[in-house]
């Protein structure tokens, strides 16, 4: 089984990396970009029997800092 976890900073949390990307895009001539939020995608190759609840617990304990980040899980 495979799972994909998308982790993003919560709304209202300053994203300096996203702001740096927005600024760099502007410097390259892409003036239409008003904002950038940068996150991460974690792909997991899981053993049979691993459940979506297991992946959620992984997110809560390690993969996402739930104080400042939100996450979503896709299981395939």
**Domain limits of the chain?**
2-75
**So what's the pLDDT on residue 51?**
96
**So what's the pLDDT on residue 58?**
98
Torsional class of 43: left (φ above 0), alpha (ψ -120 to 50), beta (otherwise): beta
**So what's the pLDDT on residue 70?**
98
Q: Taking the chain, what is the end-to-end CA distance rounded to the nearest angstrom?
A: 6
**So what's the pLDDT on residue 64?**
98
**So what's the pLDDT on residue 75?**
94
> Which one is the CATH code of 2-75: 3.30.1280.10, 3.40.50.1980, 3.50.50.60, 3.40.50.150?
3.30.1280.10
**So what's the pLDDT on residue 73?**
98
């Amino acid at each position: 089984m495979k799972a994909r976890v998308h982790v993003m900073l919560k709304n209202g949390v300053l994203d300096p990396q996203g702001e740096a990307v927005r600024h760099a895009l502007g410097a390259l001539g892409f003036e239409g970009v008003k904002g950038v939020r940068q996150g991460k995608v974690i792909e997991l190759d899981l053993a049979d029997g691993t459940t979506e609840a297991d992946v959620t617990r992984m997110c809560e304990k390690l993969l996402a800092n739930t104080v400042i980040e939100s996450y979503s899980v896709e299981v395939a």
